[in-house]
Amino acid sequence: MDDSTTVEDSATPETPVELELDIESLSFGRAAIARHEGRVVFVEGAAPGDRVRATITATHSGYDEAVVAEVLTAGEARVEPPCPLVKECGGCPWQHVDYQVQLEAKRDALVDCITRIGRIDNPPVAAPDPSPLNLGYRNRLKLRFAGHRMGFYRASTHRLVPVDDCMLAEPYIRDAMPLVEELVAGMSTQATRVEIVSRGRMAGLVVAINSRGRLRRSDTARVREFLDQPGCPVKGVVAWGKGWKREWGDTRRRWRPVADGPTIEAPGTTFGQVNTLANELLVQRVLEAAGSERKRFILELYAGAGNLTLPLAPLADQLVAVESDAAAAHALERSAHRASFRHVSAVTARAEEYLAAGVRQRPDLVVVDPTRSGLGSAAHDIARLEAEKIVYVSCNPSTLARDLRVLVDEGYRLEKVQPVDLFPHTFHVESVCTLRLT
């Protein structure tokens, strides 16, 4: 069961129904899978191999939902979750599952989606690259704010679970959480979301505050006073709401996608992969998929601030990177200029608009890294460029499978799918797909 599953056909039992269930596997979602009298039951809090007593929480036309009431017999995949809030917080629902089993489940999810949605038999999905760290890996943490507390929503609700610490975050972020909460709680501006971002190769953190209503005048002085504190780990603050945005201090972050490669410098609020070390693995897999031979022209779509662009640049005579976010595109252009990549051009445009305007030169390689919604209508236009190779970086197996079907129908062969685990203890999985024109 995916978080996007609709609940229009669901019903909550009038009286609690409890079942004893044997857990088969993890689903592509928060829960694990069991079966009862021919019906699939998605059970939160269960691990493969468990025998549990579960309470039915919702019934649907084709399946039921349940939560673990008691673990009767623990399976070999069950481990002690490191975080005491795992049952309350909705952020990382697989903490109670052995990490190797998590990786196998992510590969299974990719195989299932590509086979079932993409209708590609026996897809060439490799074993996932594990994250070098499965705790303390997040370089940015997005939190909700309500009632003077900072935290995460309980799964599938808008009920805040206050948190003073998050074991998935990098140590500097964890240490700063109480201080950031104190800052935001003392502001008159009505904050709704708070993000704490590591500055990577620059010292300190950036705090981004999304607000309802206007910025209160008194908060300007409060933020400046906060940043001026001796030893303050936060070096910059960004606050914004409808129709306004303010910045204080230094809000840049800097990272290096390849260990010996050039650095990228971008605003702290610009999208970047949350797992610094696993991102290096991801970039390496993209370079392997691209191949070492010289390319006359590389076209990159959904380029962000250049996480893939700068590592790819030495392979090309010309590289055009297309990105819809103007701040990210400008950051990419500046980083390429500092690296003396004069042959790299950044274009601020939506991929669909850029493709519709016509690509004058046939690319040797197209690299795409879209959002969770995937390529959509752009898949047809990309295929019609007739590039020899497409490298597709995806964070959503379902939309990836849909797009692969289009690309295969347009004449491409799926050569390899390489999962990379950027998100331990969650069901999310990144993958690098290599397609070649037949």
**Catalytic annotation, residues:** 395
* Phi–psi pair at 158, nearest 5 degrees: -110, 30
CA–CA separation, 87 and 96 (whole Å) = 10
> 358 is written with which tokens?
């016509």
CB 25 within 8 A of CB 32: yes
CB 429 within 8 A of CB 419: yes
CA–CA separation, 404 and 412 (whole Å) = 9
CA–CA separation, 435 and 426 (whole Å) = 27
CA–CA separation, 99 and 425 (whole Å) = 8
- Give the helix ranges, DSSP H, for 199-350: 217-227, 276-290, 309-312, 326-338
CA–CA separation, 41 and 27 (whole Å) = 10
- Give the helix ranges, DSSP H, for 187-274: 217-227
Where residue 15 falls (left for φ over 0; alpha for ψ -120 to 50; beta otherwise) is: beta
Using CA of residue 382, residue 383, residue 384, residue 386, what is the dihedral sign? positive
CA–CA separation, 255 and 64 (whole Å) = 45
CA–CA separation, 212 and 227 (whole Å) = 23
Q: Do β-strands 160-162 and 149-153 pair in parallel, antiparallel, or remain unpaired?
A: antiparallel
Helix (H) or strand (E) holding 316, with range, is: strand 316-323
CA–CA separation, 336 and 344 (whole Å) = 7
Helix, strand, or coil (residue 279): helix
How distant, in Å, are the alpha carbons of 74, 89, 360 from that of 158? 31, 11, 48
Nearest to residue 268, comparing CAs of 203, 349, 322? 203
CB 309 within 8 A of CB 336: yes
CA–CA separation, 141 and 166 (whole Å) = 9
